[in-house]
């Protein structure tokens, strides 16, 4: 499958020319972001909670405490909507009406399962940590039994999804072009700064290559 | 009121020492972010959609097309949950288990009303634009009747809310401190770059003070 099929659930209604259903494009956005926002229903209300995640093939993994209300709710519902948004710029038009933002956002609609198999669960935890800082899992102390058992890992299969992408300049009305009003785009990006080492490190503990590379790639 | 009252809806269950109910603290987070994620229920599913917003006193305003499914759904439900998250750093511990993030997040639970009064609606639109770039509303062509009537503005009153804030270093187990494993924090921040002027501007149209100041304050 190279494109997600459109349904009432994932079809982009507003601004359809910004819609994108290409699997590779969606996966790239999911891999580029760090946080997702998950929706769940509590006492008839739709509640939204931010959390870390990682994608592996057509699955998203999230983790948390065994008593995490959001995780238990989507597990019991058996499905979830996950929203990931990257802000790329402020689009400042001549007219108030045409103000907008450049962004890449993905909505995933998936089936939720608890990851019970120990190998699969450990792989998912590695995947979430490596999504923070690629390759860093191998540098750290891995979970002991107590930590492992205290962590709930859920798999959300990417059954259906859509992206909305805006990546262009100002779209003012042509008759506004003559107005003596400035218009343009302010690019926005999330950047990383040099790592601040913990004060309790044994002497000569160096910042690992994976962390240096992460900062270099995100500065 | 200086603190939001705790209820089953807004009380932070996981990581209660990161919880914050102080009104001024919550408002500061809402004013610092640009995007929110709104939850709504569609055919029994909780769906999450990102959108721009602004806060004024104890209200949040969002806007969109008259046919925006998310907006019509929360209007018909009469209530909504809005989530705002700012990522401030990656917390890279010695142990996989203690990896975390520094962040400021707010969940707002509010009553939803359509803003019909023309003055109130225009004020809300100004508020949303000035939340993007403070003071920029006065620089742009304001909505004409057609644009004004094609825009749906909703007010979400901040009836209940809570914040979760993590702003500290690594919290590893003390017995892990002797391990020859690096730990530390990678600060993360969203920054703005110099504005790129539209190519169709009349000659000598200068970047307005408000935009220059925004970039300066967010670089």
Give the pLDDT confidence of B134-163 residue by residue, as tens digits.
999 999 999 999 999 999 999 999 999 999
Q: What are phi and psi of B49, to 5 degrees?
A: -135, 130
The CA distance from B115 to B123, in Å, is 10
- Tally of domains within chain B: 1
The first and second tokens of residue A10, run together, are: 């994932």
Q: Are B137 and B122 in contact (CB under 8 A)?
A: no
- Please identify among residues 17-76 of chain A the ones whose CB lies closer than 8 Å to any CB of chain B: 34-35, 37-50, 52, 64-65, 67-69
ipTM score assigned to the predicted complex = 0.95
Q: Are B132 and A90 in contact (CB under 8 A)?
A: yes
The CA distance from B82 to B105, in Å, is 11
How close A82 comes to chain B (CA, Å)?
7
Judge whether A201 lies within some domain: no
Q: What is the pLDDT of residue A16?
A: 78
Asked if A81 and B105 come within 8 Å (Cβ–Cβ), the reply is no
Which segments in chain A show pLDDT lower than 70?
none
Q: What are phi and psi of A28, to 5 degrees?
A: -65, -40
Q: What is the pLDDT of residue A168?
A: 96
Q: What is the pLDDT of residue A167?
A: 96
3-state SS record for A101-128: EEEEEEEEEEEEEECCCHHHHHHHHHHH
List chain A residues with CB under 8 Å of B96. 125-126, 129, 137, 140-143, 147
Give the list of residues 6+ apart from residue A119 with CB closer than 8 angstroms, or none.
Answer: none
**DSSP bridge partners of B194:** none
Q: Would an 8 Å CB–CB cutoff place A166 in contact with chain B?
A: no
Q: What CATH number does the domain containing B55 carry? A: 2.30.110.10
Q: What is the pLDDT of residue B175?
A: 96
Judge whether A214 lies within some domain: no
Judge whether A130 lies within some domain: yes
Judge whether B164 lies within some domain: yes
Q: Would an 8 Å CB–CB cutoff place A202 in contact with chain B?
A: yes
Domain coverage including residue B140: 16-190
Asked if B69 and A192 come within 8 Å (Cβ–Cβ), the reply is no
Judge whether B7 lies within some domain: no
**DSSP bridge partners of A42:** A45
The first and second tokens of residue B80, run together, are: 């909504």
Question: What does each of the 219 residues of chain B score in pLDDT, given as a tens digit?
Answer: 788 888 888 888 777 788 999 999 999 999 999 999 999 999 999 999 999 999 999 999 999 999 999 999 999 999 999 999 999 999 999 999 999 999 999 999 999 999 999 999 999 999 999 999 999 999 999 999 999 999 999 999 999 999 999 999 999 999 999 999 999 999 999 999 999 999 999 988 999 999 999 999 999
**Average confidence score pLDDT of chain B:** 96
Judge whether B217 lies within some domain: no
Cβ-count burial of B48 within 10 angstroms (0-12 exposed, 13-18 middle, 19+ buried)?
buried
How close A199 comes to chain B (CA, Å)?
8
SS3 breakdown of chain B: % helix, strand, coil, rounded to 5?
25, 40, 30
Q: Search chain B and give the residue with CA nearest A71.
A: B14
Interface test with B, best of A141, A194, A214 (most B CBs within 10 A): A141
DSSP secondary structure letter of residue B54: E
Judge whether B77 lies within some domain: yes
Q: Would an 8 Å CB–CB cutoff place B167 in contact with chain A?
A: no
Q: What is the pLDDT of residue A6?
A: 87
Give the list of residues 6+ apart from residue A152 with CB closer than 8 angstroms, or none.
Answer: A63, A64, A65, A66, A68, A71, A114
The beta-carbon neighbor of A195 closest among B44, B143, B185 is B185
Cβ-count burial of A118 within 10 angstroms (0-12 exposed, 13-18 middle, 19+ buried)?
exposed
Asked if B169 and A199 come within 8 Å (Cβ–Cβ), the reply is yes
Judge whether A208 lies within some domain: no
How close B152 comes to chain A (CA, Å)?
12
Asked if A41 and B42 come within 8 Å (Cβ–Cβ), the reply is no
DSSP secondary structure letter of residue A22: B
Interface test with A, best of B62, B140, B163 (most A CBs within 10 A): B140
Q: What are phi and psi of A218, to 5 degrees?
A: -125, 15
Interface test with A, best of B76, B167, B182 (most A CBs within 10 A): B182
């Amino acid at each position: 499958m190279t494109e997600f099929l459109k349904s009432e659930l994932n079809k982009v209604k507003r601004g359809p020319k910004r819609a994108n259903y290409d699997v590779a494009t969606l996966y790239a956005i999911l891999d580029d972001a760090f946080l997702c926002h998950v929706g769940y229903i509590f006492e008839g209300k739709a509640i939204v909670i931010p959390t870390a995640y990682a994608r592996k093939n057509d699955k998203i993994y999230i983790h948390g405490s065994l008593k995490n209300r959001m995780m238990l709710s989507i597990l019991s519902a058996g499905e979830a909507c996950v929203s990931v948004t990257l802000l790329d710029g402020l689009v400042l038009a001549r007219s108030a009406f045409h103000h907008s933002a450049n962004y890449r956002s993905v909505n995933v609609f998936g089936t939720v399962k608890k990851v019970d198999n120990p190998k699969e669960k450990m792989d998912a935890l590695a995947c979430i940590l490596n999504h923070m800082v690629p390759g860093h899992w191998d540098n750290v102390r891995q979970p002991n039994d107590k930590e492992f058992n205290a962590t709930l890992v859920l798999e959300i299969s990417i059954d259906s999804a859509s992206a909305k992408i805006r990546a262009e300049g100002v779209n003012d009305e042509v008759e506004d072009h003559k107005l003596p009003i400035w218009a343009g785009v302010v690019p926005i990006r999330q950047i990383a700064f040099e790592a601040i080492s913990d004060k309790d490190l044994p002497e000569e503990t160096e910042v690992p290559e994976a962390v240096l590379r992460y900062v270099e790639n995100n500065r």
